Amino acid sequence: MLWVSFTSLHDSGFPAGHLNNPGAGTIVTENMNVFRSDQFPFILMVILAFSGIVIFWSIMDMVLLGASLAIVLIPLHRRFAARTWPVASAAVITLISLTTVSLLAYITMLIFTSNATTLSTIFAAIGDWLDNPATNPMSYGIPLSKASLSAILATGNAFFVNYMDTIIENLTLILFKIFTFFFTLFILLLHGDELKSRIMEHLPPSMDEYVSRLSEVTVDTLYAIYVVQIAIAILTFFIAIPVFYLLGYGNILFYSFFAAFCELIPILGSSATFVIMGAYALALDDTRGILIIFFLGYFIVALMPEVWIRPVLVGRRVKIHPVIMFIGIIGGIMTMGLAGFVLGPVIIVLLITTYRMYIRDRKDRAISGVFPRDRA
């Protein structure tokens, strides 16, 4: 402890001779008091930020997603802001994002509406199979009761078949979340750099390198998350086509789009599509279809991108082992839902980067003689 205290004083710029000076204690105390008073606003802001996250957790997923997208788009905003007013740049980027999302949502609803009969047939067949008294899910190796499966089926039916009724019932919450997402995006595009500068002003100089490096890896991680998510959704569409062709149920392009759409939603994944189609094949007593869906659909189309491709691509971007990145992605989604899709990988990357920087800093100080070398 004494050695750590001496090291802290040495790093703070106090000569070693001050340690033997009777007046040194007063100088150290005054500097510590100044340090604490300077850090008080920052510490208070961190406490209030965490309190806000806990209180408003129900909409915090939209805040976090909006903030993550803003971080990715800030370089574009800087280019636009150099040629026009910053508020105009932030507004244009936000409107373009809103238009893109609205257009994709409209196209998705058109596709689902045009194939509503197909989806209704699938869910009706699964419902009839569950309602059959002779049906025993346990005999097929399904570790769920009929009541649990019926509840899952009702959720899927509300989400994919009666989606308009679901939207209308939750319209207020949906609109509020949409507003929260795009308002967060706009505000952080407009004031993100200023906010970062103000935070940096209240940090000690010794943390500048840490914060700068962590900011860089955060941007790289978020960029990789969004790019890889879109790329895997597109990949899912194409590799699902031969699977649904072999399945022989028709509507090949729609089923492939269905898988890609579910893959684009982190908390679902394309596995949701193959679980539904597997239940449908089970209801039809189609053993061949069950095998195709299980081995080709679930293992190759659904699991391979999640277990191998995504962790490898994201991990390569930030130089972290794919297995660790896989734990961060899946663990984040399981513990925090949609927000965990972003927070999970980012937290893992920040932890590992901080550890690497700490180890490097200790080695550098050991070489320079600040820390004593190990003795045999």
Residue-wise pLDDT tens digits, 328-369: 888 888 888 888 888 889 999 989 988 888 888 888 777 776
Q: Tell me: do 241 and 329 sit in the same domain.
A: yes
Residue-wise pLDDT tens digits, 261-303: 999 998 888 999 999 999 999 999 999 999 999 999 999 999 9
The candidate with the shortest Cα–Cα distance to 126, out of 140, 112, 113, is 140
Domain assignment present for 283: no
Q: Tell me: do 44 and 76 sit in the same domain.
A: no
Is pTM beyond 0.75? Reply is yes
Angle, CA 251 vertex, CA 249 and CA 255 arms, to 5°: 95
Q: Token digits for 19?
A: 């340690």
Q: Tell me: do 84 and 159 sit in the same domain.
A: yes
Domain assignment present for 195: no
Domain assignment present for 110: yes
Model confidence at 153: pLDDT above 60: yes
Model confidence at 29: pLDDT above 80: no
Q: Tell me: do 334 and 263 sit in the same domain.
A: yes
Q: Tell me: do 312 and 242 sit in the same domain.
A: yes
> Please, what is the angle between helix 208-247 and helix 57-81, to 10°?
110
Among 36-45, 247-256, 266-275, 367-376, the range with the most confident prediction by mean pLDDT is 247-256
DSSP track, 115-130: THHHHHHHHHHHHHHH
Query: 1 by DSSP, 3-state: which?
Result: coil
End-of-domain residue from the set 158, 190, 222: 190
Is 263 in contact with 270 (CB distance < 8 Å)?
yes
Q: Token digits for 195?
A: 């906010």
In a 13 Å sphere around the CA of 24, the CA atoms on its Cβ side amount to: 13
Which residue range is the domain that position 33 belongs to? 1-55
End-of-domain residue from the set 131, 159, 190: 190
Q: Return the pLDDT at 283.
A: 92
The candidate with the shortest Cα–Cα distance to 156, out of 45, 323, 273, 242, is 273
The candidate with the shortest Cα–Cα distance to 237, out of 218, 215, 263, is 263
- Give CA 199 to chain center in angstroms: 24
End-of-domain residue from the set 55, 72, 99: 55
Domain total in the chain? 3
Q: Tell me: do 44 and 73 sit in the same domain.
A: no
Say if residue 255 is exposed, middle or buried (CB neighbours under 10 Å; 0-12, 13-18, 19+).
Answer: buried
Model confidence at 260: pLDDT above 90: yes
The candidate with the shortest Cα–Cα distance to 182, out of 67, 104, 75, is 67
Percent of the chain with pLDDT over 70: 86
Is 156 in contact with 145 (CB distance < 8 Å)?
no
Q: What mean pLDDT do residues 136-145 have?
A: 74
Backbone torsions φ then ψ of 143, nearest 5 degrees? -80, 45
Cα–Cα distance measured from residue 47 to residue 35, given in angstroms and rounded to the nearest whole number: 18
Length of the chain: 376
Q: Tell me: do 107 and 38 sit in the same domain.
A: no
Q: Return the pLDDT at 40.
A: 64
Q: What mean pLDDT do residues 226-241 have?
A: 94
CA 322, 325, 331, 334 torsion: positive or negative? negative
Q: Tell me: do 38 and 113 sit in the same domain.
A: no
Domain assignment present for 120: yes
Domain assignment present for 281: no
Residue-wise pLDDT tens digits, 162-211: 989 999 999 999 999 999 999 999 999 999 988 888 877 777 777 777 78
